[in-house]
Chain A
Amino acid sequence: KQEVTQIPAALSVPEGENLVLNCSFTDSAIYNLQWFRQDPGKGLTSLLLIQSSQREQTSGRLNASLDKSSGRSTLYIAASQPGDSATYLCAVSEVDSNYQLIWGAGTKLIIKP
């Protein structure tokens, strides 16, 4: 059974630093992987979607990579800003599970001014 893990559960860094958030999964037979952002008490916002055939995707200051063989994805945030403070969640979909998403518990990121 697929399991998705995000470590650490919380991270605090000074403004301006580049940082990496981690997502690991136990079964490499995924269809795609998605990264989301969630602000407190709000819904989720899709950040990046990486298909299983892709190695990375970029959007602005965000870059997500995917290494299926090792069961890992990273979300790189360049030049962090206080507005980046949020919880970041990753989720994988599988063909065998009818494409339903399996979620990590998230990493709560705090950017200190």
Chain B
Amino acid sequence: DGGITQSPKYLFRKEGQNVTLSCEQNLNHDAMYWYRQDPGQGLRLIYYSQIVNDFQKGDIAEGYSVSREKKESFPLTVTSAQKNPTAFYLCASGQGAGGELFFGEGSRLTVL
């Protein structure tokens, strides 16, 4: 089936640890995005990539890093520099700027 796969679905991290969230898509989309969702707030953009080997910071990139070595993959690393990492993380992809977005099922990160 075509779609976006995020893993893991749930992740627990101790303070001071880096963790990497996986996002894979088989929709042949050029653009991929990472969003953070907190209760009662709209989605906030962390990073996005419109082409392989290129990515741009979103509104809340501090404490996060990404790579885009393959078209179908866009992993997000939450580093120890992120002060409040507990959140629901959503990966999305789309074909072209301003196109319809398709989302994965999300990854919930909890810092213990």
Residue B75 is within 8 A (CB to CB) of chain A in the complex: no
B56 CB → nearest A CB, Å: 8
- Smallest CB gap from B96: residue in A: A99
A34-B100 contact in complex given A42-B105, A44-B90, C-beta closer than 8 Å: yes
A103-B42 contact in complex given A34-B100, A46-B101, C-beta closer than 8 Å: yes
Interface size of A in residues (CB-CB distance below 8 Å): 26
Residue A100 is within 8 A (CB to CB) of chain B in the complex: yes
Distance, CA A85 to CA B15, complexed state (A): 36
Distance, CA A46 to CA B92, complexed state (A): 11
Q: Select A93's contact among B92, B98, B108, beta carbons within 8 Å.
A: B98
- The reply to whether B43 and A100 contact each other, CB–CB distance below 8 Å, is no
Distance, CA A95 to CA B103, complexed state (A): 22
Residue A41 is within 8 A (CB to CB) of chain B in the complex: yes
Residues in B neighbouring A49, C-beta threshold 8 A? 100
Distance, CA A100 to CA B42, complexed state (A): 14
Residue B2 is within 8 A (CB to CB) of chain A in the complex: no
From B40, B58, B92, B101, residue with most partner A Cβ within 10 Å:
B101
- The reply to whether B100 and A104 contact each other, CB–CB distance below 8 Å, is no
Where the two chains meet, the residues of A that have a C-beta atom closer than 8 Å to any C-beta of B are 4, 9, 31-32, 34, 36, 41-46, 49, 89, 91, 93, 95, 98-106
Where the two chains meet, the residues of B that have a C-beta atom closer than 8 Å to any C-beta of A are 4, 6, 40-45, 48, 56, 58, 88, 90, 92, 97-98, 100-106, 108
